[in-house]
Amino acid sequence: MKATQIIEALRQKLVVPGGRHLYGVLGTYQQLDKFAGDLQHARTIDGKSFPSPLNVNKSILKAIPDDEFRHLVENEAKRPEPTAAHVAKAFEQFLRGKLNGKRLLVLANLEMLFAYHIELNLLRTMAADDDRVLLLLPGKRSGGRIVMFPGLTEGTYMLPTNLIAENHLWELRG
């Protein structure tokens, strides 16, 4: 879909008062950057500007104190679990701090969540009723699944199948 079509579909979905409000846009990094710019120039049905995307990676790193982070990095090769736990906790705190009802949260740069295999269902449960979340995801549809970071050769990351409803997930074209 074109960016304008996705924005229009999103505008229509955002006026629905209750239910799940987790949305996703798939594309390349370049397409997602352009889409984010287009989104910021658009307005919601009630005339408000769409918010700027928040960088999840930076928010997670900011939430972990430097001395703790240094310790985690030094021991990560031997024991990656504590680092993953810190990343998960920092992400949850970030998400809870930003979702406060009646607003849309646009999230980009989620690479750390995938790298540390962080459970994403928190997004699904928290994006409901007055809390709405739009994920800008570097990925594409392939064989009925969502492949994240399709150019990555080291491993394959898949978006969990039931995380985002099919009619809440759009893929940028062209």
- Those residues whose C-beta lies under 8 Å from the C-beta of residue 135, and which sit 6 or more positions away, are 22, 23, 24, 25, 107, 108, 110, 123, 164
Predicted pLDDT at 33 = 96
Fill in the amino acid letter for 93.
Q
Q: Do residues 14 and 44 lie in contact, with contact meaning Cβ atoms separated by under 8 Å? A: yes
**Torsional sign, CA 106, 145, 138, 28:** negative
Q: Render pLDDT for 35-44 as a digit per residue (tens, 0 to 9).
A: 999 999 999 8
Tell me which amino acid residue 165 is.
Answer: A
Count of domains forming the chain? 1
Residue 58: the pLDDT is: 95
pTM of the entire predicted model? 0.91
Q: How many CA atoms lie within 13 A of 128 on its CB side?
A: 9
- Which tens digits make up the pLDDT trace of 25-68? 999 999 999 999 999 999 988 888 999 999 999 999 898 888 88
Domain region containing 137: 3-171
Burial (0-12, 13-18, 19+ Cβ within 10 Å), 19: exposed
**Cβ(24)–Cβ(167) under 8 Å?**
no
Per-residue tokens: 41: 């120039």
Burial per residue of 59-77, b for 16 or more beta-carbon CB atoms within 10 angstroms, e otherwise: bbeebbeeeeeeebeeeee
The candidate with the shortest Cα–Cα distance to 80, out of 124, 116, 126, is 116
pLDDT by 10s per residue, the chain, length 174 = 999 999 999 999 998 888 889 999 999 999 999 999 999 999 988 888 999 999 999 999 898 888 887 777 787 777 778 888 889 999 999 999 999 876 899 999 999 999 889 999 999 999 988 899 999 999 999 888 898 988 776 667 889 888 999 999 999 986
